Structure 1
Amino acid sequence: MINLDKKIVIQALDCGLQALLVINARDKALPVVYVNPAFETLTGLDASEVIGAGIDELIMDGELPERVDARVGDRPADGDRNLEQAWKLKAGGSVRLNVRLSALYERPGTPSFWLLTEVARADSSPGEAALRHALHDARRRLKSLERTDPAAGVADPAGFMEVLQRDWSIARREQRRLGIVVFQVDCLDAYRDVFGRHAADSLLRKIGHLISGLLRRAGDFGAWLGDGQFAVLIGSATDAQVLAFAERAVHKVRNLAIHHPRSPIARFVTLSFGSATEVPAWTAASNTLLEHVQEQLVRRQAEAAASRADNAPSFTTQTDLQRITR
């Protein structure tokens, strides 16, 4: 039997044409822990608005799944049954659906999660269903385009924050470690002043392509943050593994040997970076790790600049200066 990585399973769910959501059955509030893009298409609600919300905030009418108490010996009503529900729409009102309730188990016994899968709209025709599937595909393609930065050629800041929030929620629920690396293209403004905007954009695309090419696992994700910064999300990795990845990317960019005549660091384009990993606390926000890494990057750059200043040659006489500058 092949053991599939959880990231692969989530990607498979994301490709489904039927709307579905997963609920934590053992939490009193029955919070939503996952929705697929088809759910977003159907309701108009983004995953970021739904993850963590109680199911009673999303279902306006109909039978709700019950909370499961693992300490109680009596099992809840069996899953794998059909329900009729009215799901909330972002534009207002609701849509009536026939849904399938299925129990998900982490181990034999009582369910850990409930899976609600759209079977059909209570009032839809086959033609309407086909149209909605086409709209789902179009929305997914459009969303992919909207999340790509045209200059850097990788996901844009909004796309990064969306994936960060999703992966943070998963890591917090499963108490897994999540790592972030933020790369800074050193002296990018000076490079742009010398070679122009188009050359700078070409440089960013080369670096973005290089960083993306170093991502080996399906769940790892790279994006452009703006202001000369790229960011990478790495799941289930130690500090040492994240550091090794960052240093490998820095070395690869250095080996591109892209000339930079105004860099005080080297003759070629270089990267600086900050990195950290964290097992998310239940009360921590997803942007705290990113802010910590960016602060570390700023400190490293300041320390490197101070070190260069300390090691710079000093000219004690006018003759020394003239000899160096000839």
Structure 2
Amino acid sequence: MRFTSVAAAAAMTLTSLVPASLPARADSTTIGAIYLDDVGFYAAVRKGIQDAATAQGREVSLLETNARADPGAEGSFIDRLISASAKAIVLSAVSSDGSVRAIRRAHDAGIPVVCYNTCVNDDAMKKYVYAYVVADPKTFGEKLGEVAADYFIAQGIKAPKIAVLNCEFVEVCTLRREGFEAALKARVPDYQIVSNQRGTVLDQAVSISDQTISAHPDVNAFFGEGGEAGVGAVRTIKQRGLAGKIVVFGADMSIAAAQELADNSIMKGVADVSGQGIGKLALEQALNGADKKPIGSLVVPMTISIFKTSQDGKTWLDAHKDGLS
């Protein structure tokens, strides 16, 4: 999961928004798509959705926007999609509770809603959502926690001090941390979380990680829950000349994350889910909903990938020249 600055997000809104008030072609299937961001993971999701739409044996019209992690913007665009008689909506919900009313309005208007990556709370999801495409966030955290535990045990660090750079304004990130801690608790039970602060955008992650090291100079590692958190922590550690003393375990692959993993002096592991794969699955589910197919399994699972060696980073870079996972 990735997040970006308001300025960058606004740029996407201006360049990619298709006005929902315009009528779609009579022979096309109109699908609304809402993203939280315009880079990294969400750029990959967008490409997956667009490629999947192009590959269909029929005309699919996409009406897209970037919600900028703003429930109000998300709700306003959903209302525009309702007015435009969209056949389905694909979105990464901004808030598990704050997004419910808008998603309910779409449901009540007869428009199937497909969540990806983030969704509304369980009760609302069961009532108003057609499908939820997601990699299990606790498993995601557990897999990365296993990598961290392997590192601490190999280094003889029995009571590691860990700082978290979080994205816990969405529930997925809280669950990622819970999974990460569960893996540590099983194998390095004396670990300690010394700090847990929001830091998903690069500049924010750099600033918060710098403050954290000042407050906790004995910190052993950072866990970046999503976005550019891990890369930001690496940058701070380099600036302070602490490579080899503090390491980072991050979420979400990008060119920068892969480059740091390839270097392997600070970044020791990255967990990732293919954004393009999620986008493709989400679009397929949206078309199923548009075609009035019965709801199958509410949760549609995605594979989680773990990268933990220098060669893993180099291989990823060779396979993803555009930086999209």
TM-score (norm 1): 0.29
> Comparing both structures, which one devotes a greater share of its residues to helix?
2
TM-score (norm 2): 0.29
Higher relative contact order (CA 8 A, sep 6+): 2
Work out which of the two has the higher radius of gyration on C-alpha atoms and give 1 or 2.
1
